Amino acid sequence: MRRRLYAGRDVSRAQSIEELRAIARRRVPNFCFEYVEGGAEEEMTLHRNRDVFSEIAFQPRTLVDVTRRNQRRQLLGQESASPFLIGPTGFSGLLSREGDVSIARAAAAAGIPFVLTNVSTTSLEDVVRRAGGCIWMQVYMYRTRAFVEQIARRAHEAGIGTLVLTTDSALYGKREWDTRNFSGPQNLNWRNKLDVIRHPRWIFDILYPRGFPHFANLGDLLGPGQTSVRGAASSILGQSLDPSLSWTDVEWLRGIWPGKLIIKGIMNAQDAARAISVGADGIVLSNHGGRQLDGALSAMDVLPEVVAEVKGRIAVMLDGGFRRGSDVVKAVALGADAVLLGRATTYGLAAGGQAGVERAIEIMRSEIDRVLGLLGCGDIGQLDQSYLRKV
Between helix 44-54 and helix 299-310 the angle, nearest 10°, is 70
% the chain with pLDDT above 70? 93
Between helix 343-375 and helix 99-110 the angle, nearest 10°, is 20
Count of domains observed in the chain: 1
Q: Following DSSP, what letter does each residue of 104-138 receive, concatenated?
A: HHHHHHHT--EEE-TT-SS-HHHHHHHH-S-EEEE
Q: How far apart are CA 187 and CA 72, in angstroms?
A: 45
pTM: 0.94
**Is residue 71 within 8 Å of 382, Cβ to Cβ?**
no
Verify whether residue 214 is a known catalytic residue: no
**Is residue 176 within 8 Å of 41, Cβ to Cβ?**
yes
Task: Please say if the pLDDT value at position 5 is more than 60.
Answer: no
Structure confidence by residue, pLDDT tens digits, 11-48: 989 999 999 999 999 999 999 999 999 999 999 999 99
**Is residue 163 within 8 Å of 140, Cβ to Cβ?**
no
Structure confidence by residue, pLDDT tens digits, 147-161: 999 999 999 999 999
The alpha-helical segments, DSSP class H, found in the chain are 2-6, 9-13, 17-27, 30-37, 44-54, 99-110, 124-131, 145-157, 176-179, 190-197, 200-202, 219-222, 233-240, 247-256, 269-277, 299-310, 325-333, 343-375
Q: What are the backbone angles phi and psi of residue 150, rounded to the nearest 5°?
A: -65, -45
**Is residue 310 within 8 Å of 269, Cβ to Cβ?**
yes
Mean pLDDT of 96-110: 97
Q: How far apart are CA 185 and CA 278, in angstroms?
A: 38
Q: Which has the closest alpha carbon to 165: 189, 138, 203, 134?
A: 138
* Full residue range of the structural domain in which residue 228 is found: 2-390
pLDDT for position 6: 44
Q: How far apart are CA 205 and CA 353, in angstroms?
A: 10
Name residue 282's beta-bridge partners.
262, 315
**Is residue 109 within 8 Å of 354, Cβ to Cβ?**
no
Between helix 343-375 and helix 325-333 the angle, nearest 10°, is 70
Q: How far apart are CA 135 and CA 77, in angstroms?
A: 14
More confident: 220 or 187: 187
What is the domain-level CATH number for residue 273?
A: 3.20.20.70
What single letter denotes the amino acid at residue 67?
T
Q: Which has the closest alpha carbon to 357: 122, 161, 81, 87?
A: 87
User: CB under 8 Å to 29, separation ≥6 — which residues?
Assistant: 192, 195, 196, 198, 199, 202
pLDDT band at 226 (very low <50, low <70, confident <90, very high): low
**Number of other CB atoms surrounding residue 158 within 10 Å:** 17
Structure confidence by residue, pLDDT tens digits, 320-351: 999 999 999 999 999 999 999 999 999 999 99
Tell me the three state secondary structure of residue 44: helix
